[in-house]
Structure 1
Amino acid sequence: MTNAHVRRVALIGCGIMGAPIGGHIMDAGFDLTVHNRTRSKAEGLLARGAHWADSPAEAAADADVVLTMVGYPSEVEDVYLATDGLIRAAKRGAWLIDLTTSSPQLARDIHDAAEVEDKHAFDCPVTGGEQGAIDGTLTLIAGVSEAEAAPVLPVLESFSSKIFYFDQPGGGQTAKLCNQVSLASCMLGYADALALAEQSGIDQEKVLEVMASGTGGSGASRTLAPRSLAGDYKPGFMVEHLRKDIALALRRSEDLDITLPGAETAFTLFDMLCQIGGARMGTQALTLLYQDEATCAAAGLDWSLLDRDEYADDGEDGCGCGHDHGDGHECCGHHDHGHECCGGHHHDHDGDHECCGGHGHHDHDGGCRCHHEDR
């Protein structure tokens, strides 16, 4: 298939990231068909002339390129590998590109299944957040070689400013998980720094300037820390999705028999934030865990949710996070959150308890889902 033959594009998932991506694809002159679980989120694209499909299969039927941007690996698996999924529904020769951050093994499974059907699939998770999607400057992390991706570059370049190629199925997902592990630790770093500055009575904004002028700063402290200080917790990237990404990285670390202490700590705190009502906040809401209960309550968090009985009825998995709570494991450990969760809490990490490395992952999802993204 030459570039000239890529005319029709299907997009599955029109949420925070998907909708602006679709807009850039249309701006580049491609004919776009969209499907979203919640149609209202696609209305902006439909108003611009995109076509609506009632299912992913219908969207993909005549598409040269199919892009997916959904929430969790389980959704990716359903969209691609179900009996009426994209592997079966797409036409021969079509390109199937998953932009979701998902499981490397699932990406390999999808690639292999597509090749059997004379179709081409590769993983291509993105980084850059909502603003990058709006600006069309996302970084793409592709599990394919540059030469292999050449036929679909006009589509990919329409919403990105940089593409990294990792030359093998699942390579893009693995590289994205590496990025997420680093991001999470950087966020913990600036949250710790701001808490230390606040409790010491010095100017937090000046501390950020100091960090930026030396080696203590990061992309997270540059772009997200100011939003934390301003009390702006609007999601550019939701807490529950970063938690999912860290869980996938921890699952991979278990497969490799290595330990990621920073990722384990990050998982504990982001999981805690999900449990007290922050799942759909922006990741910069992490700093709320360092504040008193009144400040947290004003932001919509409820510490009492951590006082529920471990086995209380709350969906299929008790706390709703999908962990295996057997053998006395508690999702976030035992802590005293009387005043400040990270300023004064006391985790019980005695004995053989592992804060995150010992949680039970399930299948491709890493076992960490409180909510599905409302695509």
Structure 2
Amino acid sequence: MQISTENTKIGFIGTGVMGKSMASNLLAAGFQLIIYTRTKHKADDLLEKGAKWASTVEEVAENADVIFTIVGFPSDVEEIYLGENGLLHHAKESSYLIDMTTSKPLLAEKIAAAGKKKNVHVLDAPVSGGDIGARNGKLAIMIGGEQEAYHTLLPLFEIMGENIQLQGPAGAGQHTKMANQITIASNMIGVCEAIRYAQKAGLDPTKVIASISTGAAGSWSLTNLAPRMVADDYAPGFFIKHFIKDMTIALESAKDMGLTTPGLELSLQLYQEVAQDGEENSGTQALIKWFTKEE
């Protein structure tokens, strides 16, 4: 299959914080898009830009050559792909299905195996970079699946991201994303503690961030999320409830491999407490509220 704006119809399922920008970038590149999301008004901006609306997952499957999905939870992924009216029951032969949801590695393997039986190419391709990376087309995309399918779809991945790696067979993309989330989990604790330390010491935290972000302490979270913490801006670039889901998957996967992850366990505990305080729909930077709640 040759990817082209003239001959390739793209389906896109899930237009949340990340998906909307990713789909918008594909539209801007000139591709025909068929959109489905459970709440239609979330796709209004894309429909105004020329995307076509599908009323069911089945309709997307029957009309698209390539279908991207980025939804909330593994249960959503399983329903969309393997459910009675799911993609694998209705996708065109030799079409390409790419799940960009952060989901369970074992589920990615299961979906890929089902796709092979249907002569449908399936990739797991979770992303990192938040709302900023999605909007600017600079996501890191971690891919599991067959090399030939990866090379075929690379022109589309390059519209959405700039750090694109085929990590291995089905499930490898999800395992890589788990490593990504484990790294972020402990780092977010450090970022919050650093900001609170700076504030307690009477420093200007904005100046502190400027100084330490270019040295050994530098990280994406420090550069992009710490300023939001200082500004009391908790709008979601990535929802706390979804990060809790990711950390839970990572913890389960680690335990399955006999691996102990104390940093991940602590981060999950703190985020769960913040969520219980009503912040589950806030951005992950709202973890700072755990460190200030006793004041």
Shared topology, TM-score over 0.5? yes
User: Partner of 1:308 in structure 2?
Assistant: none
* Aligned pairs (5 A) from 1:204-215: 204-215=205-216
Q: 1:85 to 1:157 in 2, by over 3 A?
A: same
User: Which structure: greater helix fraction?
Assistant: 2
TM-score between the two structures when normalised by the length of structure 2: 0.95
More moved, 211-220 vs 247-256: 211-220
Deviation at 1:199, TM superposition (A): 2.5
User: Partner of 2:55 in structure 1?
Assistant: 54
Q: 1:145 to 1:162 in 2, by over 3 A?
A: farther
Give the 3-state SS of the residue equivalent to 2:63 in structure 1. Answer: coil
- The amino acid of 2:2's aligned partner reads T
- The amino acid of 2:3's aligned partner reads N
User: Partner of 2:92 in structure 1?
Assistant: 91
CA contact (8 A) 1:145 1:166 kept: no
User: Partner of 2:221 in structure 1?
Assistant: 220
User: Partner of 2:261 in structure 1?
Assistant: 260
Deviation at 1:290, TM superposition (A): 1.2
Q: Which has the larger radius of gyration?
A: 1
- The amino acid of 2:193's aligned partner reads D
How well do the aligned residues superpose, as a CA RMSD in angstroms? 1.5
CA contact (8 A) 2:240 2:281 kept: yes
User: How many Å separate the matches in 2 of 1:74 and 1:277?
Assistant: 23
More moved, 104-113 vs 194-203: 194-203
CA contact (8 A) 1:11 1:66 kept: yes
Q: Give deviations 1:183-239, integer Å, cap 9, x for gaps.
A: 111110011112222233333233323422431232211111111011111111111
* Long gaps (5+) in structure 1: 293-338, 341-375
Give the 3-state SS of the residue equivalent to 1:29 in structure 2. Answer: coil
Q: Does 1:8 align with 2:9?
A: yes
Deviation at 1:6, TM superposition (A): 5.3
User: Partner of 1:274 in structure 2?
Assistant: 275
User: How many Å separate the matches in 2 of 1:203 and 1:3?
Assistant: 51
Number of matched pairs: 294
Deviation at 1:22, TM superposition (A): 1.2
* Aligned pairs (5 A) from 1:1-375: 1-4=1-4, 7-292=8-293, 339-340=294-295
TM-score between the two structures when normalised by the length of structure 1: 0.76
Q: Give deviations 1:217-273, integer Å, cap 9, x for gaps.
A: 322111111110111111111111111111110000110111101000000011111
* Long gaps (5+) in structure 2: none
Q: 1:88 to 1:6 in 2, by over 3 A?
A: farther
